[in-house]
Chain A
Amino acid sequence: MKLFLKLHKHNFLIVIAAAFIALILVFKFQGIPIVQYTILTFLVAFYLLWATAFHHFDKSLKLEVMIEYILTALLALVILYGVLL
């Protein structure tokens, strides 16, 4: 249980790992903006799912917390829309 709680506390590392994979793919598909944007869209979807799961198990799932995630995701997507598409 202690190990679970310890891992749970650091499970933002899952998002960091997903972001790292996305980072590699973004550079791999350099010059193909539609693919780069799709990669980022999948990453953002994963990030929102992770956030929901994390805060649910953490018993800290609140509307204002989720709004921050949604707005951060939207900010990334809207900026990239202007640059890539």
Chain B
Amino acid sequence: MTFHHWFIPHRDTHQKAHLISWRALAAYIIFFAALQSVFTSLSITNPGILGTSSNITKEKVIELTNIERGKLGLSPLSENPSLDSAAISKAYNMFEEGYWAHFAPSGKTPWDFILGSGYKFSLAGENLAKNFSSPEDVVTAWMNSPSHKENIMNSKYKDIGIAIEDGVINGQKTTLVVQMFGTTSILTAKPKQLAKAEVPSLIEIPKEDVNNREILILPEVAKAQTSAEPVVNPFKVNQFLGMGIIIFVSALLLIDFIILRRRGVFRFSSSHFAHMAILGVAAAAITSADPGQVGSGLTFIYEIVP
């Protein structure tokens, strides 16, 4: 077994290079499956060691949001301390209960946090994002999502609150961005098409509930877990190694095809081009992948009796 037989077909038998044989393919699969197992184990045994880090600031997200509104001639939103507080409470609740959604497993709703902060809204909305590395990427992703864009471009909103918090969800260091919108003005007409979310779109809260809200207290435990920077970013590792293997295997398949053509030999084998097509699409998906996620935006109304 000579060195070059690992990379090019055998001179006499014309067998495939060892590194694109079925045994090698099986080895690559086992390697990647093992890698996922290692990441899963690490996220359980050493929470916070895996994840992403970001440089998103609250001020920049508000500025970019207002720039987008300005493009449509809408008035800029003012930062509201109560909505800021509600957004922070929501972010910490997600770390505490280990979820990323508008509605908590315990049943807490976005308006629990907003009303709990003392902001008596007539119309409010919530956008969520996680694991983006820059504020531009967050706002661009929201603007590319119709339900988030609807929130950003809603002319009825007057106030905005933002929370950008690092914590651990499912064992991975996560940067959450919570954007809350609201207005306390009494609406003259019920807004149309309020929500595009995975939950009931229009929810009315009994008025007496407003007075029974408790101010949510930020959990100190969640904050303590976020002090250290993550050591490994599983997304980057998977992206780098996955792309490397795909390019490597595709290159060897191409070399195999060219050499067989030059030798003028025929071998009962699978189709080189079919393999390369599948691997090519996989490579494109890897290239287009982004660890940042935005889910869907949520708008909700609190019916106020004038």
Asked if residues A72 and B285 are in contact (CB atoms below 8 Å), the reply is no
Is the beta-carbon distance between B279 and A83 smaller than 8 angstroms? no
- Measured in the bound complex, the distance between the Cα atoms of B125 and A11 in whole Å is 52
Which of B2-10, B221-229, B241-249 is near enough to bind chain A?
B241-249
Asked if B289 lies at the interface with its beta carbon under 8 angstroms from chain A, I say yes
Q: How many contacts A-B (CB < 8 Å)?
A: 127
Q: Which residues of A contact B285 (CB under 8 A)?
A: 26, 36-37, 40, 80, 83-84
- Once the chains are docked, how many angstroms separate the CA of A67 from the CA of B271? 12
Assess whether A51 is in contact with B284, with CB atoms less than 8 Å apart: no
How close is B266's CB to chain A, nearest CB, in angstroms? 10
Q: How far is the CB of B161 from chain A (nearest CB, A)?
A: 24
Q: Distance in Å from the Cβ of A2 to the closest Cβ of chain B?
A: 19
- Interface-centre pick from B28, B32, B141, B245 (highest chain A CB count, 10 A): B32
B35–A82 touching, CB < 8 Å: yes
A: interface residue count bin: 35 or more
CA distance A75 to B282 in the complex (A): 10
Q: How far is the CA of A65 from the CA of B33 in the complex (A)?
A: 23
Closest to A84 in B: B289
Q: A36-B289, A79-B246, A83-B285 are in contact. Are A16 and B277 (CB under 8 A)?
A: yes
CB <8 Å contact, A65 and B269: yes
Stretch with Cβ within 8 A of A (4 or more), from B49-57, B85-93, B212-220, B232-240: B232-240
Q: Which residues of B contact A (CB under 8 A)?
A: 22, 25-26, 28-29, 32-33, 35-36, 39, 141, 144-145, 234-235, 238-239, 242, 245-246, 249, 268-271, 273-275, 277-282, 284-286, 288-290, 292-294
* Further pairs besides A72-B270, A75-B279, A79-B246: 5, Cβ < 8 Å: A15-B273, A22-B281, A51-B274, A72-B279, A79-B282
Q: List 11 A-B contacts (CB under 8 A).
A: A16-B273, A31-B292, A36-B288, A43-B278, A47-B277, A51-B271, A68-B269, A72-B270, A78-B36, A80-B286, A82-B36
